[in-house]
Amino acid sequence: GGFSVFAGHQASYLVDIHQNDVLFWPADVGWITGLVWNVYGLLIMGASAVIYDGALDYPTMDRIWEIMSKYGATIFGISPTAVRLFKKNNVQPLDKHSLDKLRNIPTTGEPLDEDSWWWLFEKVGNKKIPVMNLSGGTEIGGAMLSVFPGMKLKPSTVGIPVPGMDLDIVDDDGNSVRGKNGYLVIKSPWPAMTRGLLNDDDRYIKTYWSRFENMWFHGDYVFADEDNLWYMQGRSDDVINVSGHRMSTAEIEHAVISHDKISDAASISIPDELTGEAIIVFFVSNDDNCVGLESEIMEHISKKIGKIAKPKQIFQLSDLPKTRTGKIMRRLLKSKLMGTELGDLSSLENPDVLDEINKL
């Protein structure tokens, strides 16, 4: 059906998979990435897959690079979270392993910050293998924005709309905009689109079709530059409004991570009587010497974004709460600070971090 057509289309046009390729993309097949690439797209194209069931950093940080070298992976997929893990630990894959057969590096799952993009391009791609950053969703049935083979690249971009996807960026009133952040919408059907939710038609309409008339509202905040290259700015419900200035959590987090002592970061908002909302930042450091780091981060954010983006509070953690697919669970951080119910924790990969947050 439509899902199979879309998966084959994506495997061919986006990542350039051929019959003689060996794909190594350690993604859960219960997640849309694992399903599209490791199952449908790969088999439709007649290529081979390396299937790995285990942690990326066990028993050592060399594990996945050993696998890539042993089986001659030509296409290697990785999440931004995993990239930050290896970058944090100063992993140098090319020093120990031969990745000479590698020709494409797709990545997806969350916005890819510029420092992580450069690490992937230089330390894995040897400054010559393209980073194929893409973005989509389960309800999309794959990617809707992607870099393509042969494109001129810029760090962190998710490229352009996938062929066949009628995408646009709109403001609060549904008007098309460029040169500033806006909402990602889809204006026409596509083969793998979700047509409903099981026994819950009302929720389907409310979630995707009630925000703008005759446009699919995906919930992402995006930006297109002067070359019409698109960039993910995070979820639209993760936008923080400080004194009328709207900033995405991704924008703030990318600024924090660009500090050379920071390996990962999350930002949330809390109510503030003066500014409406205030920014709270959580960070993970890659440096043992963290004396004065909070004030450095304050100044760094101010230089990168502006004084309006200075956080009200900054907290250091050993790790951030994440799902099994590597997405930051910001709602847990906010719930902990606000003293509200945590809700469903079934997808939390590292529950120990909650005890650490309790001690803040």
Task: Please give the pLDDT value at position 287.
Answer: 82
Whether the predicted pLDDT of 217 surpasses 80: yes
Q: Contact, 333 vs 357, CB < 8 A?
A: yes
Task: Please give the pLDDT value at position 273.
Answer: 83
Looking at the fold, whether 221 and 314 belong to one and the same domain comes out as no
Q: Is the pTM of this model over 0.75?
A: yes
Work out the widest C-alpha separation in the chain, in whole angstroms.
Answer: 61
- The per-residue pLDDT of the chain, averaged, comes to 91
Residue 50: inside a domain: yes
> Which string of DSSP letters, residue by residue, matches 143-189?
EEEE--TTPPP-TT---EEPTT--EEEE-TTS-B--SS-EEEEE-S-
Residue 67: inside a domain: yes
Residue positions counted in the chain: 360
Q: Is the Cα dihedral 212, 218, 221, 225 positive or negative?
A: negative
Whether the predicted pLDDT of 140 surpasses 90: yes
Looking at the fold, whether 194 and 321 belong to one and the same domain comes out as no
Residue 222: inside a domain: yes
Q: Contact, 305 vs 247, CB < 8 A?
A: yes
Residue 146: pLDDT band by 50, 70, 90 thresholds?
A: very high
Mark which of 212, 233, 254 sits at the end of a domain. Answer: 233
Domain, as residue range, for 221: 167-233
Residue 313: inside a domain: yes
d(CA 190, CA 136) in angstroms, rounded, equals: 13
**What mean pLDDT do residues 228-246 have?**
84
Q: How far is CA 266 from CA 95, 250, 320, 331, 348, in A?
A: 31, 8, 8, 11, 15
Looking at the fold, whether 225 and 248 belong to one and the same domain comes out as no
Which residues share a beta bridge with 182?
222
Looking at the fold, whether 41 and 100 belong to one and the same domain comes out as yes
**What mean pLDDT do residues 148-163 have?**
92
Q: Contact, 224 vs 203, CB < 8 A?
A: no
Residue 205: inside a domain: yes
Q: Which helix (H) or strand (E) holds 207?
A: helix 201-208
Looking at the fold, whether 131 and 175 belong to one and the same domain comes out as no
Looking at the fold, whether 146 and 175 belong to one and the same domain comes out as no
Mark which of 136, 161, 186 sits at the end of a domain. Answer: 161
Residue 253: inside a domain: yes
Whether the predicted pLDDT of 263 surpasses 80: yes
Whether the predicted pLDDT of 48 surpasses 90: yes
Q: What are phi and psi of 334, to 5 degrees?
A: -70, -40
Looking at the fold, whether 10 and 143 belong to one and the same domain comes out as yes
Looking at the fold, whether 153 and 46 belong to one and the same domain comes out as yes
Whether the predicted pLDDT of 289 surpasses 80: no
**What mean pLDDT do residues 308-326 have?**
89
**What mean pLDDT do residues 213-236 have?**
91
Our count of domains for the chain comes to 3
Q: Burial letters for 263-290: b for 16+ Cβ neighbours within 10 Å, e otherwise?
A: bbbbbbbeeeeebebbbbbbbbbeeeee
What CATH number should be reported for the domain holding residue 260? 3.30.300.30
What CATH number should be reported for the domain holding residue 40? 3.40.50.12780
Lowest mean pLDDT among 30-34, 138-142, 309-313: 30-34
Residue 238: inside a domain: no
User: The tokens 């696998």 sit on which residue?
Assistant: 67
Looking at the fold, whether 157 and 13 belong to one and the same domain comes out as yes
Residue type, 304: K
pLDDT tens string 89-129: 889 999 999 999 999 999 998 888 888 999 999 999 999 99
Q: Is the Cα dihedral 219, 223, 228, 230 positive or negative?
A: negative
Q: Contact, 112 vs 135, CB < 8 A?
A: no
Looking at the fold, whether 253 and 149 belong to one and the same domain comes out as no
Q: What are phi and psi of 268, to 5 degrees?
A: -140, 175
Task: Please give the pLDDT value at position 113.
Answer: 86
What CATH number should be reported for the domain holding residue 178? 2.30.38.10
Which one, of 188, 222, 163, 172, lies nearest residue 12 by Cα? 163
Residue 204: inside a domain: yes
Looking at the fold, whether 215 and 252 belong to one and the same domain comes out as no
Residue 160: pLDDT band by 50, 70, 90 thresholds?
A: very high
d(CA 324, CA 26) in angstroms, rounded, equals: 12
Mark which of 132, 161, 190 sits at the end of a domain. Answer: 161
Looking at the fold, whether 151 and 228 belong to one and the same domain comes out as no
